[in-house]
Chain A
Amino acid sequence: MDGTKVAPGRTAGLYAGAAVLRLAIFTLLPGLANLLTGRVEVSTPVTSFKRQGLFLYNRNVSPYDGGVYHQAPLFLPLFSLLPSFSSFPIFTYLLYIVVDLLSASALWRIADSGEAGSSALFTSPRREKRWSGFGIAALFLFNPFTVATCIGRSTSVFTTCAILHAIAKAVSGAPFGAMVALSFASYLSMYPLLLLPPLILLCYDRQCPERAINSGFRFAATCVATVAGVLAVLFQLSYFITGSWEFLPSTYGVQLTLSDLTPNVGLWWYFFIEMFDSFRSFFLAVFWLHLSSYVGGLTLRIRRQPLVVLTLLLGIFAIFKPYPSISDTSLFLAMVPLYRHVFPLMRYTFVIAAVILYAAFLGPAFYHLWIYAGSGNANFFYAITLVWGLGQSLLVCDLMFAVLRDEWEVERPEMVGKEIRQI
């Protein structure tokens, strides 16, 4: 894999293969699609396909009545434009497949830009050793987690697509496009807003020289203003669609207050089931602050490689956000192969792979034991989600270690290949 040039035939083949795989599962195994749609690992209250307020919306009733639908209002016109799911499901399938392919193409562009290996302020000595965009896109498209998310028709694929496009726009020197894409991602699921600081840095580093804004402060202010403007427009549109502002508490409010405690693969639900009521609001704030406190520290520490910060933050969000699913993990795992060049520096690759596989296989089994067989209890499932979180946090830590060591070896060339001790 030399990377840069791929024959157009291979590109088409990859996309066609991924599309055919998904379509085959949709049409030949419709039971599997419906099963995955209901799995807690795939669909959370804020991304579930089944919990769409489409029926209410098409009958001119507010979709947020009844407290089941917690997603952004702009999904409703999108899905009501499609022919009815019950009679022509193929259009919905095609929509999801197209979104996945778009995500893959954005990832491909990120990989081809080489930003992972050499950013504006830092060039890794190992950057030659990398996978091509084709390989990274293929890893994303044929990742079982990605496929399961697509088959489960979780609406988080739209967020994934928006985030990947934001990064792709940023590395190709289009700050405005990046900000618009990030606004869409934030509008859909709120948490991507935390990616704004590293994304601004990434845009700043990759600006086109002829249209560059040199003052960092002015650049950041422009970016923030863009995001605020686009979000304001989106909110206004949502207001026109639903006729009231009640979508705000039932979409973002639910994420902030965690009022729906359906189990998922994250760490929040069990904690807040057990929480004393009088401390609930305090610990909600603590969890959100914990989630957002990484942004500043990581952005400062790895200032020279903003893409690394984005990747690590995506991994942290997949562990610590209120309603995570395997789709967040699949997004993180899509970004990790960009750092093929630091893989040799990682120390626990085997452990990480084993733990993630272990949790991926035992998680559904324990959930079954708890909910259906009744021979286990909630602790079974929670324990396995802890293992799942452990696996991902190991991967985040190890990747961070490898990237930092890579930077460090540039400063201390004499230490290459030597055993080191972390203090």
Chain B
Amino acid sequence: MTIQQPLDKGAAAADLQNSAAVAAPAATTSNGLPLPARKEPPPEKPSDVRRRSYIILSFWLIVLCLGLPIWWKTTTIYRADLPLQEMLDWADGKACRPVFPLRISIQANALQEQEAQNLLRLTQHALDDLNDFSGHHLRLQLAPPAASENRDHDHDSVLTIRLLPGETTTASFDPHAPVLDITYPPNTLPSPTSSSSSLATYVAGQLRSTFAEEQATISYLLSTNSIPSEHRPQGLSPDVADSLSKRTTRSLKYAPTYHLTFSLFTSGPLPSSWDIEDAIHQYMKPVLDVLSPIHNFTIDTQVQLYATPGVQNQVLNKEDLSSFINAAEWPLSPSIGGAPTINFVVFAGNQTIAVPPTQDSADSSGTAPAPHSWLIPQWGTVYLLSLPSDTAHLSSEALKQPLLTFTSHLLSLTGMPQSGSLPLRLSTLARIRSADLLLRASSTLGSLARLALALPSISIPSSVADGVSKTMAHLRLACETLGRPEGLAHARVAEAEAERAFFEKSMVGQLYFPDEHKIAVYLPLLGPVAVPLVMGLLNELKAWRKRRREAAEVAQGKKKE
């Protein structure tokens, strides 16, 4: 170490001399000899150099202190946390097993407690033997005798069976309440020890046939959705499935509100007025009132004279019916205010419908033997009314038949099952609809979850996360209360929230935005702006490093002296 030190110093001195020798000729050329071709500018003043650094610093301060945070804040994609796995579970049917525990109470006032219990046990056995679909479960219970005073049926149970002693074994529905009256001859009562009874088998058979349609519909719904197979019912015969699918396509999608439009189209100048308000009140209102727990209805009416139908034939064939509606000229607006519209058209003219040679009435309209009307799936009904040519006014009496037809078609358009008494059909409809809504909301959740997984760059606003959590809360409640009235309400809320979350406006606009687009967005403006900024910074850094080296050299030289 100590030996090497003078050597080092000597080398440094030689170096310094070298650099001085290099610098000297340059100085002489710039000062001494006036070179005509090229003249080096004099060195910059330190104040100028400092000023330039400040200027570059001022631009970069704005870029770094304001530009970068703003860039970060305005372009980061906000993705609210979604419970993706849970959402997929719902869609796959893992989160909720749709089970409809239907409670049926038996009123047997004429029987002893012991006898009744025995009958109940046997009937339950017979039912369980017949049932092959675990999701749809009939459970019998004995109505307390005190309740029998009250003729009204118990609200917890779906159906009340009133067992009355009589001559023969008969069954009949009460038209106003979900009550099944069964009469039985006293000898059919099971003895306490017997393991089977004809009455029990009869009751079980009646119950099963009553709920067969509902069961088939629900299992059809489940089978069309992505429910795993262990929950899926097996025995659904192809023709039942076929008729069910036909009925599902015919009925409208569930909506809390439907808009009913009653239109009178006449081929001539008459009739020009009708008592539609009165007729609706008289013939249709009762059914609308019955449906009111499930749907709301808004109604408007219109009359149009000299209306030409789409088909001018005197006799309408089956093929003509689909083109009868003159969509271009008749003012039948598709939807008013978001609620789906059901159209009921009365056409006053002299056209008739050709009676098909084979009477397959169940297929098209399912109404009278001499058809006046036909149902257009998911749209409404047309009724052909032939009148004497001088009728100027349609009384509500004349509208009775059309409106009754409309009413029955309305029920089928809303997806009402076809068998059973009206109260029973209504409660069945509510259960079918809640199952349907539950499944639809779940599958929407699944789609949203798959979308969020498939597109990592899509933004998920907090309103979507909010909607998802609301949907799931209501789905959970709906699943717990399935088969009861509040189940429908929860399923309805869940479905509406799920749809709103899925069709969030700010999400849809940015479905596809790959990263290479960002270059196209940023580069045209920011590229040219960045070039002078970056070059200025680089030059400044280079100059600063050079100055530092020179300063170090000077310092070293001074130390040596």
Interfacial residues, chain A to chain B (CB-CB below 8 A): 276-279, 281-283, 285-286, 289-290, 292-293, 296-297, 300-301, 303, 412
Assess whether B51 is in contact with A300, with CB atoms less than 8 Å apart. yes
Question: Complex formed: what's the CA distance from A278 to B58 in Å?
Answer: 29
Residues of A within 8 A of B510 (CB): 278
Q: How large is the interface on B (under 10, 10 to 19, 20 to 34, 35 or more residues)?
A: 20 to 34
> Mind listing 6 A-B residue pairs with CB under 8 Å?
A285-B67, A293-B62, A296-B59, A297-B58, A300-B58, A412-B42
**CB-nearest residue of chain A to B509:** A277
Assess whether A286 is in contact with B526, with CB atoms less than 8 Å apart. yes
Residues of B within 8 A of A290 (CB): 529
Count of A-B contacts with CB under 8 A? 52
Q: Is B54 part of the binding interface, using a Cβ–Cβ cutoff of 8 Å?
A: yes
A256 to nearest B CB, angstroms?
12
Assess whether B75 is in contact with A278, with CB atoms less than 8 Å apart. yes
Question: Complex formed: what's the CA distance from A286 to B69 in Å?
Answer: 11
Question: Complex formed: what's the CA distance from A296 to B57 in Å?
Answer: 9
The 6 A-B residue pairs with the shortest CB-CB distance, nearest first, are A296-B58, A282-B74, A285-B70, A281-B74, A293-B62, A297-B55
Return the contact of A297 from the options B59, B74, B509, B521 (Cβ within 8 A): B59
**CB-nearest residue of chain B to A415:** B41
Assess whether B62 is in contact with A285, with CB atoms less than 8 Å apart. no
Assess whether B62 is in contact with A296, with CB atoms less than 8 Å apart. yes
Residues of A within 8 A of B74 (CB): 279, 281-282, 285
Assess whether A279 is in contact with B66, with CB atoms less than 8 Å apart. no
Assess whether A289 is in contact with B70, with CB atoms less than 8 Å apart. yes
Q: Is B512 part of the binding interface, using a Cβ–Cβ cutoff of 8 Å?
A: no
Return the contact of B66 from the options A276, A282, A289 (Cβ within 8 A): A289
Return the contact of A293 from the options B59, B70, B513 (Cβ within 8 A): B59
Q: Is B306 part of the binding interface, using a Cβ–Cβ cutoff of 8 Å?
A: no
Q: Is B525 part of the binding interface, using a Cβ–Cβ cutoff of 8 Å?
A: yes
Assess whether A289 is in contact with B51, with CB atoms less than 8 Å apart. no
Residues of B within 8 A of A297 (CB): 55, 58-59
Question: Complex formed: what's the CA distance from A258 to B55 in Å?
Answer: 29
Within 8 A of A (CB), among B284-327: none
Question: Complex formed: what's the CA distance from A123 to B127 in Å?
Answer: 111
With contacts A286-B526, A293-B62 known, what are 10 further pairs, Cβ within 8 A? A278-B509, A278-B513, A279-B521, A285-B70, A285-B74, A290-B529, A293-B59, A296-B55, A296-B58, A297-B55
Residues of B within 8 A of A301 (CB): 51, 55
Residues of A within 8 A of B55 (CB): 296-297, 300-301
Residues of A within 8 A of B529 (CB): 290
Residues of A within 8 A of B51 (CB): 300-301, 303
Residues of B within 8 A of A296 (CB): 55, 58-59, 61-62
Residues of A within 8 A of B42 (CB): 412
Question: Complex formed: what's the CA distance from A290 to B51 in Å?
Answer: 21
Question: Complex formed: what's the CA distance from A69 to B546 in Å?
Answer: 58
Question: Complex formed: what's the CA distance from A283 to B518 in Å?
Answer: 13
**CB-nearest residue of chain A to B71:** A282
Question: Complex formed: what's the CA distance from A301 to B521 in Å?
Answer: 32
Q: Mark B55-88, 1 if CB is under 8 A from A, else 0.
A: 1001101110011001100110000000000000
A279 in contact with B75 given A289-B70, A290-B529, A301-B51 (CB within 8 Å): yes
**CB-nearest residue of chain B to A278:** B510
Best-surrounded residue of B67, B74, B509 (most CB of chain A within 10 A): B74
Return the contact of B67 from the options A276, A286, A412 (Cβ within 8 A): A286
Residues of B within 8 A of A303 (CB): 51
Question: Complex formed: what's the CA distance from A297 to B59 in Å?
Answer: 7
Question: Complex formed: what's the CA distance from A283 to B529 in Å?
Answer: 13
Question: Complex formed: what's the CA distance from A75 to B413 in Å?
Answer: 62
Question: Complex formed: what's the CA distance from A283 to B522 in Å?
Answer: 9
Question: Complex formed: what's the CA distance from A279 to B509 in Å?
Answer: 13
Question: Complex formed: what's the CA distance from A292 to B67 in Å?
Answer: 12
Assess whether A286 is in contact with B525, with CB atoms less than 8 Å apart. yes
Question: Complex formed: what's the CA distance from A290 to B66 in Å?
Answer: 11
Return the contact of A300 from the options B54, B66, B513 (Cβ within 8 A): B54
Residues of B within 8 A of A277 (CB): 509
A289 in contact with B526 given A300-B55, A301-B51 (CB within 8 Å): no
Question: Complex formed: what's the CA distance from A377 to B42 in Å?
Answer: 54
Residues of B within 8 A of A283 (CB): 525
Question: Complex formed: what's the CA distance from A300 to B526 in Å?
Answer: 24
Residues of A within 8 A of B59 (CB): 293, 296-297
Residues of B within 8 A of A276 (CB): 513, 521
A298 to nearest B CB, angstroms?
9
Residues of B within 8 A of A289 (CB): 62-63, 66-67, 70
